[in-house]
A and B are shown apart, each in its own frame.
Chain A
Amino acid sequence: MKKIINNPEDFVKEMLKGLADSRPDTIGYIPEKRIIYRKDPFTNKVALISGSGSGHEPDQAFYVGKGMLDAACAGPVFAAPTLDAIVDAARLIDKGRGVLFLVKNYTGDRANFEMASEMIEFEGGPVVETIIINDDVAVKDSTFTAGRRGVAGAIFVYKIVGAKSEEGTNIEELKKLAMEVNANVRTMGYALKSCTHPEKGTPTFELGPDEIELGVGLHGEPGRQRIKIERANVTINRLLESIISDLPFKSGYEVALMVNGLGGTPISELYIACSIAHDILKANGIKVFKTYVNNYCTSLDMEGCSISLLNLNEEFKRLLLMPADIPVRYF
């Protein structure tokens, strides 16, 4: 294992410190609870919190900032954040308008967020609502979930709901909007190479040199099918066929397209996937309103990508285009 690390057990702590150091104007950090929060003052808005195991960066600590999330709870690598951190983050960031938890559908994450909201209610804390994101079309149940997993489509939920929250919208309407985005987004990915957990030091699963895993999970858990490597055209077509038929996305629909790198794939290859996706969507009569190509939701250094499609309406389009002042911008 060759990585830019000191002690494997300090992986998350040092990464988050680096994040806070990079944006001292907007990012606050509580190391002992692994909480990243918005430091710039804001009032009269519902606070949005997300959280999960680390290793999916920039998801989700790097999406904290005006127009997106207000706090993020990071767990250890691939392990859920703890109840105490979630409770503390909610108490810290609430501005009297309530707190909305945006949670990807993994058993550990759900358990801790559900208990946190119960504890806050028991102790008379801020109003809390929770939305579960489950955009992955690959498998219904996996090693880490009951029901569909939450993957890169979550970023569209954070973006759209985050922009809306800046307008002072109340918690019930934001929850409704979050559910509406979740209902209109679908994702599927594939892996070319496994990832290496920094504390484990060895690949989390084995994939032969000529094999790919279709529908791989964010923690390297098995997907839909393991097949021999093939031309990118064929594989991207498989992903999009599964995605398009699932919603289903019909001819004439207008979408946002996300080509998401899983962490270890060069940007150049992601743009090849983007080119293929555009051709396939055009052939299906689906219009692309905006394309997002980058590492948005990763699995450490896993090679591969996922494709997400979000079926748009005028409100989603307007909110997608609003600015978000988050640390992962190039300029």
Chain B
Amino acid sequence: MKTQKEILIEIIENICKNLIDAEQMLTELDSHIGDGDCGIGVRKGFEAVQKIIPELSKMEISDILKKTGFTLAYTIGGTSGAMLGTGFIELGKGLKEKLEPNIFDWVSAMNFSLEAIKRRGGNTKVGDKTMIDALEPAVLSMINSIDTNKEINIVTLFEKALSAAKAGSESTINLTAKKGRASYLGERSIGFKDPGSVIVCIILESAYNCLKNN
């Protein structure tokens, strides 16, 4: 049986692969409502993470996540780098000193990370047409899963969270952007999905697929 750390590294590798493959799709989405560099930035960021996998494998869970976040923020740059980076860094901070975190630790760290991204973005809310539109429903679904079930299956927990994220991401199509560069477009940002929310879905889907296979 694989250790938790081994599965986490596998998840990170899978996230890297899927987001690098999504370059064109993200660039296409961003060209409508941003400056069209989202896909390239994200690809560079996750290629940089791929390169440090051997280094990550020697670290504890909390530091693996922090180092991944710093690498993303450092390489992607801009607001998308800062927000994606913050997500991983704060997830790592939320798991500080937890060598073998349990499912409750993970969900509470996810919530900690969500709140940090919202703060860092200037009190971002659901409805602002950002990654939060996918991430917040996903985290709320996770919290709901651990609150209502005595026997928690992590695969089911992620499956539900992923479908909540996808619904949230779809809902951004009809929203007017209130944050970031897309907010300059005002109502013209309606009709396109927010790329940040799509990234959140890909990350959760990558994690879900790894967990399912383990």
Contacts and interface: CB of A to CB of B under 8 A. Distances in A.
Main secondary structure of the interface of B (DSSP, over half): helix
A83 B123 contact: no
Contacts of B86: 111, 115
Interface stretch (B4-12, B19-27, B77-85, B147-155): B77-85
A82 B81 CA distance: 8
Given A79-B78, A83-B82, A146-B122, A115 B73 contact: yes
Contacts of B81: 82-83
Interface string A242-286: 000000000000000000000000000000000000000000000
Interface in A109-154: 111-112, 114-115, 118-119, 122-123, 144-146
Given A115-B85, A115-B86, A83 B121 contact: no
B82 A115 contact: yes
A107 interface: yes
A84 B77 contact: yes
Contact of B79 (A85, A108, A114, A146): A108
For chain A, give the interface size range.
20 to 34
B74 interface: yes
Interface in B118-166: 120-123
Interface in A13-37: none
Contacts of B77: 82-85
B70 interface: yes
Nearest to B183: A143
B66 interface: yes
B189 interface: no
Contacts, number: 53
A79 B79 CA distance: 9
Contacts of B70: 115, 118-119, 122-123
A112 B82 contact: yes
Contact of A122 (B66, B82, B120, B121): B66
Given A83-B85, A115-B85, A122-B66, A145 B78 contact: no
A84 B74 contact: yes
B192 to A, nearest CB: 19
Nearest to A9: B35
A236 interface: no
Contact of A107 (B89, B122, B184): B122
Contact of B120 (A82, A87, A111, A119): A111
Nearest to B79: A108
Contact of B74 (A83, A114, A145, A200): A83
Contacts of A114: 120
B75 interface: yes
B185 to A, nearest CB: 11
A111 B82 contact: yes
A117 B78 CA distance: 16
Interface in A214-262: none
B123 A146 contact: yes
B102 to A, nearest CB: 25
Pick from A84, A144, A145 the residue with the most CB of B within 10 Å.
A84
A87 B74 contact: yes
Contacts of A119: 70, 73-74
Interface in A52-107: 79-80, 82-85, 87, 107
Contact of A145 (B66, B73, B122, B181): B122
A142 to B, nearest CB: 10
B78 A84 contact: no
B82 A107 contact: no
Nearest to A108: B79
A220 B176 CA distance: 21
Nearest to A114: B120
Contacts of B184: 200
A118 B82 contact: no
Nearest to B92: A122
A79 B184 CA distance: 13
Nearest to B117: A111
Contacts of A108: 79, 82
A115 B89 contact: yes
B98 to A, nearest CB: 17
Contacts of A107: 120-122
Interface of B: 66-67, 70, 73-75, 77-79, 81-82, 85-86, 89, 120-123, 181, 184
18 contacts: A79-B79, A80-B82, A82-B82, A107-B121, A107-B122, A111-B86, A114-B120, A115-B70, A115-B73, A115-B82, A115-B85, A115-B86, A115-B89, A118-B89, A122-B66, A123-B70, A146-B122, A200-B184
Q: Which 8 A-B pairs have the closest CB atoms?
A: A82-B77, A107-B122, A84-B74, A119-B70, A111-B120, A83-B73, A111-B82, A115-B73
Given A84-B73, A84-B75, A119-B70, 11 more contacts: A79-B78, A80-B82, A82-B77, A82-B78, A82-B82, A83-B82, A111-B121, A115-B70, A115-B82, A122-B67, A144-B122
